[in-house]
Structure 1
Amino acid sequence: MSAPSQPPRILVLATGGTIAGQAGDAMRADYRPGQVGIEAYLEQASGLGVAAQFTGRQIANIGSEDIDASIWSRLHAEIELAMRDDELDAVVVTHGTDTAEETAFLLDLTLPSTKPVVLVGAMRPTDAVGYDGMRNFANAVRVAGDPDAAGRGVLVVMGDRVHSARDVRKAETRATEAFRGFPRESVAIVTPSRLDWFGAPWRVDDGARLKFLPLPEVPILAIYAGMSAAAASHQLTHNPPGIVVSGLGEGNMPDPVRQVLVQHARRGCLVVRASRTDQGLVDREPEDDENGFVAARALGVPKARMLTALLVANGITDPAEAQRFFDER
């Protein structure tokens, strides 16, 4: 564990979400995300003793189910500028929890690892009993301000846990301990006053793995028992450039559906087998070479879709070359 000698200089990019939401009643279950602006939020954080020199910018004020390409583009551009700004030490992004794993992974794949970038959210709005957002935010500042956070890629801080963007997923709809990691459960434990890493940085001096480019539409084909070839074909009539299969077990599917996907692979579509289960590896099977399929390995369906879209955007559609990106840790 290490600590900076002076308050870290942190750029906070706000996108809304529950962490900035309000219900108008401490006991209500429903609420509106993105109601508290970043200036008011940082004033409250500073008043509670969260130690940092903050610069705040409001990128959006939405529920993260409405995140889109324009918001991702602005986020990426702002963080790229911060990476080159000697007056900034780190970036914290406040974000809704529904799509935090997708945003984190997109940024992780397309940014260098030279400065810490930390996403943080909340499961309860600001005026709810037991609001968890300010503690999560204080924890995120603690992580972002630690020199040892550099070289670890984009991180997600929730519920006193620090997760790698590649591992993290939302696993609960309401509980404050809503995030899990696979294959690494978490890479550190954090409180506002202490941070303990579980290992050394793994992306030291690492550049962006892929270019940030406009993403093509890559559908998720949800597999179910008894699914017919006609049902699969109906969802894929627009001949997408990539398809992610939310498969049974270890990325399995009925044989008639498999044959439909083989035809898409043969026309140059990047077909990725992932699993609808909560976690686990999807390894390559003997037929993948012949079928032209890619195995998602440890990536769940949402992140497999994000990586597939980025690969296609970067012109990487050869299954063997694409497989190397899914095999990374």
Structure 2
Amino acid sequence: MPGRMISPYIHVCATGGTIAGRAGSPTRRDYRPGQIGIEHFLTRISALGIDTVLTGEQIANVGSEDIGLPVWAALHSAVQSALADDDCAGVIVTHGTDTAEETAFLLDQTLPTDKPVVLVGAMRPDDAVGSDGLRNFANAVRVASNPDASGRGVLVVMGDLVHSARDVRKAVTTGTSAFRSFPRSPIAAATPGSLEWFTDPWRTGEGARHPLPKTMPDVAVLYAVAGMSASAVTSAIAGGAQGVVLAGFGEGNAPAAVREALGDAAKAGVPVVRSSRVDEALVDREPDDDRLGLVAARALGPAKSRILLQLLLAQGITNFDAIQAEFGRR
């Protein structure tokens, strides 16, 4: 974290990913993420004529498939330190796209909302034809520099659109328009020279909803498939899972034997959340949920449901009603 700056600045926390990746050829399909350091990246950004003062910090330089609690803890600490400086107007996190939604949601739940925190990545490496990294980053600077970006939780900027961390997910494996939002659509459109908000802030002045734990409880995600047996549930519990998220069919469904096994786990004190493997899914409470003691994920997909349940369990929150209330928050 840099010393106190004379003028407002945006602090950039770099973690690697495709936005810092290189292929060695502008037309090569495969590439290695996390090849460019933050100082080199900021030098390239300065050539664009962006007048915002930027400082940088290298937290990690890996593909986002390798990001977990150790990187999250270092990143969280760096972001908190930056936000505590009165001269820091906001923070940008550069990140790989594979787990961007998970890091964004974790930060969204564990940081205050009084200053913008913007996560940005790229779908094409730095040296590829049509690389989107610099444009996405310039858009992120535009968003993070805007006071109206605060009070919205953590934001994700990709493909000229701004997404809420709670709603965003990667929906396409290739191409620069790979991110979608549900149930809300993108909340703004951004270019290096413009920013148009589609909605008012909804979390103004809100503090962190949950602390970042030193360890994350083991929560298993079970993917529902045709012919699935209850052994998937019993194996997860026997393996030490302290909570279970079902990536169910449709509105969080599973074969009857699996649902009963999940109910048995819940009655034994292992919280169970019904989510869905469907890309755009609302999982509401059903009559059987009361009988079985299951939590409905609402609009959170399996990955974010797992993170939220981990944060709750780390605080000792196992009460069914308390967990359900957290999944119903906006």
TM-score by length of 1: 0.96
Task: Write out per-residue CA displacement over residues 33-67 of structure 1, whole angstroms, 9 at most, x where no aligned residue.
Answer: 00000001001001111221111000000000000
Letter in 2 for 1:115: K
**1:141 and 2:138 aligned:** no
Letter in 1 for 2:242: P
1:253/1:57 CA distance change after superposition, 3 Å: same
- 2:69 matched residue in structure 1: 69
**1:319 and 2:316 aligned:** no
- 1:3 matched residue in structure 2: none
- 2:230 matched residue in structure 1: 229
Q: Distance in 2 between matches of 1:227 and 1:81?
A: 47
Q: Distance in 2 between matches of 1:236 and 1:300?
A: 21
SS in 2 for 1:219: strand
Query: In the alignment, is the contact (CA less than 8 A) between 2:222 and 2:232 conserved in 1?
Result: no
Matches within 5 A, 1:68-217: 68-213=68-213, 214-217=215-218
Letter in 2 for 1:229: A
258-267 vs 93-102, greater mean Cα deviation: 258-267
- 2:244 matched residue in structure 1: 243
SS in 1 for 2:109: helix
SS in 2 for 1:12: strand
Q: Distance in 1 between matches of 2:172 and 2:237?
A: 30
Matches within 5 A, 1:5-24: 8-24=8-24
Residue 241 of structure 1 deviates from its aligned partner by 1.2
- 1:258 matched residue in structure 2: 259
Letter in 1 for 2:224: I
Structure 1: give runs of 5+ residues left out of the alignment: 1-5
Task: Write out per-residue CA displacement over residues 49-100 of structure 1, whole angstroms, 9 at most, x where no aligned residue.
Answer: 1221111000000000000111100111111112211121100000000000
Aligned sequence identity (%): 59
SS in 2 for 1:10: strand
SS in 1 for 2:238: coil
Q: Distance in 1 between matches of 2:298 and 2:211?
A: 22
Query: In the alignment, is the contact (CA less than 8 A) between 1:13 and 1:94 conserved in 2?
Result: yes
Letter in 1 for 2:88: L
Q: Distance in 1 between matches of 2:287 and 2:181?
A: 28
Q: Distance in 2 between matches of 1:159 and 1:183?
A: 19
SS in 1 for 2:104: helix
Letter in 1 for 2:272: V
- 2:288 matched residue in structure 1: 287
Q: Distance in 2 between matches of 1:304 and 1:230?
A: 22
Query: In the alignment, is the contact (CA less than 8 A) between 2:218 and 2:240 conserved in 1?
Result: no
Query: In the alignment, is the contact (CA less than 8 A) between 1:246 and 1:275 conserved in 2?
Result: yes
Over 6 Å off, 4+ runs? none
Query: In the alignment, is the contact (CA less than 8 A) between 2:8 and 2:87 conserved in 1?
Result: no
Query: In the alignment, is the contact (CA less than 8 A) between 1:7 and 1:51 conserved in 2?
Result: no
Structure 2: give runs of 5+ residues left out of the alignment: 1-5
SS in 1 for 2:88: coil
Task: Please tell me the root mean square deviation across aligned C-alpha atoms, in Å.
Answer: 1.2
Letter in 2 for 1:20: A
Task: Write out per-residue CA displacement over residues 119-170 of structure 1, whole angstroms, 9 at most, x where no aligned residue.
Answer: 0000000000000000000000000000111111100000000000000000
- 1:218 matched residue in structure 2: 219
- 1:53 matched residue in structure 2: 53
- 1:305 matched residue in structure 2: 306
Residue 282 of structure 1 deviates from its aligned partner by 0.1
TM-score by length of 2: 0.96
Task: Write out per-residue CA displacement over residues 162-186 of structure 1, whole angstroms, 9 at most, x where no aligned residue.
Answer: 0000000000001110000001110
SS in 2 for 1:153: coil
Task: Write out per-residue CA displacement over residues 258-299 of structure 1, whole angstroms, 9 at most, x where no aligned residue.
Answer: 121111101111100000001120000011112111000001
Q: Distance in 2 between matches of 1:232 and 1:42?
A: 48
Q: Distance in 1 between matches of 2:129 and 2:51?
A: 25
Query: In the alignment, is the contact (CA less than 8 A) between 1:20 and 1:33 conserved in 2?
Result: yes
